[in-house]
Structure 1
Amino acid sequence: MNAPTLPVISMTALESESGLAELRRAASDVGFFYLVDHGISHESQQDYLRLSREFFQLSVQQKQSVDMIHSPHFRGYNAMGSEMTAGRLDAREQFDWMNEEQAIPDSALSQPWQKLIGPNLWPTSMPGLKPSLTKLQDQLSDITVNLLQRLCASLGVEAHALDHTIGKQPYTHAKLIRYPGQHRPQQGVGAHKDPGYLTLVMQDEQSGLKVERNGQWIAVEPIPGAFVVNIGELLELASNGFLKATNHKVESPKQGVERYSIAFFMAAQLSATVPVLSLPDELSARASGPSADPNNPLLTDVGNNVLKGRLRSHTHVTRRYYCQQTARTLLANSFAQLPINDICSECTI
């Protein structure tokens, strides 16, 4: 087994004060940690990763039948070179799915983020994919909601302090990801922070994920059965910067090697506004406010915070569905103060 390069947190230890203290240290000092004893066995994880490999082994035509270009809600398949991070193309292919919902007609939209709401795209050639990934989505949703409540408790506030932002079900976004081998080191996915509350990553045996710490990039070696967890921007906002959303990236594997992972992102409901928690004086004194990036400002309204990332990452979908006059007007009203003219050169807002 690989040696841990991040703190290791046991889910079963989070009922104790010492366990909560370890969780608080990991989330505030690093913003990343391994999670064990979470209830999904290593064997089950391997089954999901095998299912992921099966999807990516489908023919080009079968995968293109669920290409994201068919979804104004940013669901479905992305071939190599279809997603951008930090302005550069990523060397990976992936399949995205989110909460299964009914789309809102354009005529009824009052906020641009409402266009994110809609159904997923599922390949007819893999009828077992939808029930399997929906089950995984439910399992990971339960884990992240529980973990969010434990994090609140670790901060000395009521465990359910953020439950009202989640409602009956959190907003979730998940990806099957394949990183093909490259002749030379390449951006599998560029340096970034995640926009939600929490992210869980299921890794295969190949390394590649790296976390920025004290100006250095630390490799997050896979540990069998452990999820990698990172704090998202919404938790950094809610804790006034006490908890850290940390830059991370993935480097492509070497030629002849493939890397598979499954990433799960949990956030508040898109309609929610994230509150700033009233931390105890000792912790509040150590909260320096959320990080500020003029090119990527954090927004307390969840829907727009999520949407700006989608618009920048998948510009081909943006051009097809968000450049019409109705969508452009909504975007201009919501993002008037943001530098988003990098989204689409053909329809600068």
Structure 2
Amino acid sequence: MTATSPAQPAPFAAGSSEPPLPILDLSRLDGLAAERALFLSELRAAIRRFGAFYVTGHGVGQGTLDDAFALSRRFFDLPERDKLAIEMVHSPHFRGYTRAGWERTRGRADWREQVDIGSERPTLPTGLDAPAWARLQGPNQWPDALPELRPTVLGLQDALTDVTTRLLRGVALAIGQPEDAFDSIIADAPTQLVKLIRYPGHDTTREEGVSGQGVGPHKDSGLLTLVLQHQQSGLQAETADGWVDVPPIPGTFVVNAGELLELATDGYFRAAVHQVVTPAAGIDRLSIAFFLGARLDVRVPVLPLPPDLAAEARGPERDPDNPLLRNVGENSLKSRLRSHPDVAQRHYADLLAATA
């Protein structure tokens, strides 16, 4: 990847007085005491109100981002046979390529193609005494037709892990915790996942059976998610005033709070509900999402919030269609089984039979 100076943010879109979500400069976390305190206050307010915000000052160079998007484009331009060679259905670890319409959100097809790349770790034992979630850990699938993808994506994964870990330290301080409050559940082997995503454009008024759902409304299952948007809009966030567009702002990432953060704060923070609308016919949308979660083998604790914050904690949201589980491996597996029924049927048929 190209080493360049950090990407610089541009002013918000012309004609708009302010962005739909707050823009926070992560470099202020390392500033003088007064500036740091103000940043932490704004961080807490942004997650409390929206569950999401834009972040700049993250230190990831524009060249790094350009390289990642260029290789993402090259991957999606490969012949179908090369992409299907690493189709996710071949992986019990939910790694690899997914065709448009094959992932599900709340039972409905998402109109996007993508490749999922996680931490490069050895397969765990999966005997009778092993938990079902142990099957989630294992190697990635890489396309022989694009060998450059592996070093680029794994380098990006490292860079985004650093950004997200810094953000988590800020989140901890913002709610009156030691800055290392999350270290015990992410140390050594956090859950890491990079998704390279392409949303093909289509005319939903003319194509029978095709909806405008790029990805349906959902919460992410981890602690924090970074969304790297390319050029085309489509991301939307649910707020108290309804759905708002969250367009790309150069030099920024969108940060979404996830389910594990909701659990750890007893609902003081709620995970962001978001979706993506399919682009119009003739254009497409690229994005890269990075998910950081806790280790698969841990149970998320409830942090001892200061009394004034604890009094405002609402408890985790009670959704019978999406129960939040404190066991990280179980929570992650729940999400993956629902999202990828083909992988579930091939590699987890025993679990499906047990719950039928």
**What is aligned with 2:149?**
129
Deviations along 1:4-27, one digit per CA (max 9) or x if unpaired, are 210001011123100110111001
Deviations 1:210-241 (A, max 9, x none): 00011511000100010000100100111111
CA shift, 1:102, in A, is 1.3
Letter in 1 for 2:23: V
| Matched residue, 2:316 | 290
> Which residue matches 2:181?
161
**Bigger shift: 106-115 or 247-256?**
106-115
Partner residue, 2:33: none
CA distance in structure 2 between the aligned counterparts of 1:295 and 1:126, rounded to whole angstroms: 39
Deviations 1:169-200 (A, max 9, x none): 42111100000001026100000000100000
Of the three residues 114, 120, 135, the one matched with 2:140 is 120
Q: Are 2:236 and 2:244, in contact at CA under 8 Å, matched by a contact in 1?
A: yes
SS of equivalent to 2:179: coil
The 3-state SS of whatever aligns with 1:14 is helix
**In structure 2, distance between residues paired with 1:283 and 1:232:** 19
Is the counterpart of residue 85 in structure 1 residue 105 in structure 2?
A: yes
2:114 counterpart of 1:99: no
> Where in structure 2 are the equivalents of 1:294-313 lying within 5 Å?
294-313=320-339
Structure 2 residue 270 is the aligned partner of structure 1 residue 244? yes
SS at match of 1:113: helix
Query: Could you report, residue by residue, the CA deviation over 1:32-69 in whole angstroms, capped at 9, with x for unpaired residues?
Result: 10000101123321221111000000000100110001
Matched AA of 1:143: V
* Contact 1:45-1:225 at 8 Å conserved across structures: no
Q: CA RMSD in A?
A: 1.3
Task: Give me the whole-angstrom Cα distance separating, in 2, the residues matched to 1:233 and 1:347.
Answer: 26
TM-score, scaled relative to structure 1 = 0.92
Q: Gapped runs of 5+ residues in structure 2?
A: 1-10, 14-18, 31-35, 205-210
User: 1:203 maps to what in 2?
Assistant: 229
Aligned to 2:158: 138
- SS of the aligned residue for 1:106 comes to coil
1:210 counterpart SS class: strand
Q: Equivalents in 2 of 1:105, 1:272: separation in Å? A: 17
Paired position in structure 2 for 1:13: 28
Q: Percent identity?
A: 47
Tell whether 2:351 aligns with 1:322: no
- Secondary structure (helix, strand or coil) at the match of 1:305 reads helix
| 1:336 corresponds to | none
1:164-243 mapped onto 2 (5 Å cutoff) = 164-184=184-204, 186-243=212-269
2:288 partner SS: strand
Q: 2:303 aligns with which of 268, 277, 288?
A: 277
Amino acid at match of 2:275: K
1:284-326 Cα offsets, whole Å, 9 max, x none, are: 11111111101211111100000000000000000001114xx
Counterpart CA distance in 2 for 1:262 and 1:281 is 38
TM-score by length of 2: 0.90
Q: Once the two structures are superposed, what CA deviation does each residue of 1:101-131 show, in whole Å capped at 9, x if it has no partner?
A: 1112432651010000100000011111101
Structure 2 partner of 1:31:
51
Q: What SS does structure 1 have at the residue aligned with 2:127?
A: helix
> 2:276 & 2:304 partners in 1: Cα distance?
35
Is residue 2:22 matched to residue 1:22?
Answer: no
Distance in 1, Cα, partners of 2:273 & 2:265 = 18
Separation of aligned partners in 2, 1:289 and 1:68: 35
Q: What is the alpha-carbon distance in structure 2 between the residues aligned to residue 51 and residue 187 of structure 1?
A: 25
Find the aligned partners of 2:202 and 2:63 in 1 and give their Cα distance: 29
Residue 264 of structure 1: which of 280, 290, 298 is its match? Answer: 290
Asked whether the 8 Å contact 1:76–1:95 carries over to 2, the reply is yes
Residue 84 of structure 2 is matched in structure 1 by 64
Amino acid at match of 1:322: Y
Q: Distance in 2 between matches of 1:51 and 1:176?
A: 10
Deviation beyond 4 Å, 4+ runs, structure 1: none
Q: Is the 8 A contact 2:108 2:216 kept in 1?
A: yes
